[in-house]
């Protein structure tokens, strides 16, 4: 997430749990079970936030390692590159950045030219103020957590048919001003791509406290996405957080360039609520503080909602009037 001027009083609430077996869930569109694997989520999260990747700043060897990892995951699960390769290349401040873009083509001729983007940024700030001997800003919550969720959803959808096509997009240079997302949104709009919804995932590594929903949605009142998504999922997955509006989080993540380019529902989900995590852009934003059980539960709740979104006979999710 791009830097926010005021974070308020932050209190740490952490639950670092061990990995468990993959769970089975069924939906109305396919009676075969699918699995969301906590071990897979944890492995991705731990790798991307490791010291070896040196904080994943755009244009560095560390983010190149992350990009290669993402490419391997896309290829392993049979997802096609949307462009000539998985990499969407751009230049920023004298360095080269790569958005990573994979396609799961829709199967219904009447709907496959409509797209849903499932995205998040995989870069971070690289280094931050030293604490002891540590100066690597690992970016576990921001946003290796969101990246792990996007890759887990890519794995899940890789062997499921959907009417609409899905683009799994992981952005670079978010921390430099949403540069990667701006580049890709403009490029896709010029194509032109028929975008239905852009669903962005940001900072979901720790759970919210004392809420009757699992994650908040930025720009909550700009569309009916939360209402429809919760109905699709059969539970209160997405809700409203006043602080998200106060700190203008809708404009501060990679959803916003797609909203500007396409004027469609393009919003971010998050669980960072300004009271549950105090390592934002900090060297202690590390894997050991992440709650992978919570993350897995949230991804399990997201998957049925996205499935219904990808298969609904009409475009039920719309901008507010």
Q: What is the pLDDT of residues 279-300, one digit of tens each?
A: 999 999 999 999 999 999 999 9
Say if residues 264 and 256 touch (Cβ distance below 8 Å): no
Positive or negative, the CA dihedral 208, 211, 212, 215 is: negative
Per the domain annotation, does 246 fall within a domain? yes
Per the domain annotation, does 136 fall within a domain? yes
Per the domain annotation, does 76 fall within a domain? yes
Say if residues 200 and 254 touch (Cβ distance below 8 Å): yes
Residue-number span of the structural domain to which 307 is assigned: 23-311
Per the domain annotation, does 27 fall within a domain? yes
What's the pLDDT tens digit per position in 161-207? 999 999 999 999 999 999 999 999 999 999 999 999 999 999 999 99
φ, ψ for residue 101, nearest 5 deg:
-135, 120
Residues near 136 by beta carbon (within 8 Å), at least 6 away in sequence: 51, 54, 55, 126, 127, 128, 283
Alpha-helix residue ranges (DSSP H) falling in 1-76: 38-48, 61-76
Per the domain annotation, does 256 fall within a domain? yes
pTM summary value: 0.90
Residues near 203 by beta carbon (within 8 Å), at least 6 away in sequence: 1, 141, 142, 143, 145, 146, 270, 271, 272, 277
Element (H, E) at 259: helix 255-262
Q: Which residue do the tokens 């701006």 mark? A: 182
Segment 77-94 shows an average pLDDT of 98
The total number of structural domains that make up the chain: 1
Segment 133-153 shows an average pLDDT of 98
pLDDT band (50, 70, 90) for residue 210: confident
What's the pLDDT tens digit per position in 92-104? 999 999 999 999 9
Gyration radius (Cα) of the chain, Å: 18
Residues near 265 by beta carbon (within 8 Å), at least 6 away in sequence: 197, 198, 222, 223, 224, 225, 259, 317, 318, 319
Given this model, what pLDDT does residue 1 score? 66
Per the domain annotation, does 318 fall within a domain? no
Per the domain annotation, does 218 fall within a domain? yes
Q: How distant, in Å, are the alpha carbons of 21, 75, 181, 209 from that of 98?
A: 33, 17, 10, 35
CATH code at 219? 3.40.630.10
Per the domain annotation, does 7 fall within a domain? no
């Amino acid at each position: 997430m791009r830097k926010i001027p005021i974070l308020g009083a932050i209190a740490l609430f952490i639950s670092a749990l061990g990995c468990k077996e993959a769970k089975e869930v069924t939906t109305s569109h396919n009676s075969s079970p699918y699995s969301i694997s906590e071990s897979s989520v944890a492995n991705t999260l731990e790798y991307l936030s490791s010291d070896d990747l040196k904080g994943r700043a755009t244009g560095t060897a560390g983010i190149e390692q992350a990009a290669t990892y993402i490419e391997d995951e896309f290829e392993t699960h049979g997802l096609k590159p949307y462009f000539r390769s998985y990499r969407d290349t751009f230049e920023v401040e004298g360095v080269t950045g790569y958005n990573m873009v994979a396609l799961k083509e829709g199967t219904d001729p009447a709907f496959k030219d409509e797209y849903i983007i499932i995205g998040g940024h995989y870069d971070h700030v690289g280094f931050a103020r030293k604490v002891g001997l540590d100066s690597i800003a690992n970016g576990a919550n921001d946003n290796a957590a969101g990246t792990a969720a996007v890759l887990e959803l890519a794995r899940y959808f890789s062997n499921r048919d959907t009417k609409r096509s899905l683009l799994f997009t992981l952005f670079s240079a978010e921390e430099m001003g949403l540069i990667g997302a701006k580049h890709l949104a403009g490029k896709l709009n010029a194509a032109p791509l028929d975008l239905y919804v852009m669903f962005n995932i940001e900072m979901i590594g720790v759970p919210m406290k004392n809420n009757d929903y699992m994650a908040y949605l930025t720009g909550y009142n700009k569309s009916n996405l939360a209402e429809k998504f919760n109905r699709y999922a059969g539970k209160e997955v997405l809700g409203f957080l006043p602080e998200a509006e106060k700190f203008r989080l809708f404009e501060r993540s990679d959803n916003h360039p797609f909203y500007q380019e396409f004027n469609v529902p393009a919003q971010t989900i998050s669980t960072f609520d300004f009271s549950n995590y105090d390592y934002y852009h900090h060297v202690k934003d590390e894997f050991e503080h992440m709650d992978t059980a919570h993350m897995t539960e949230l991804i399990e709740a997201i998957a049925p909602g996205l499935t219904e979104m990808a298969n609904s006979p009409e475009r039920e999710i719309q901008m507010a009037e």
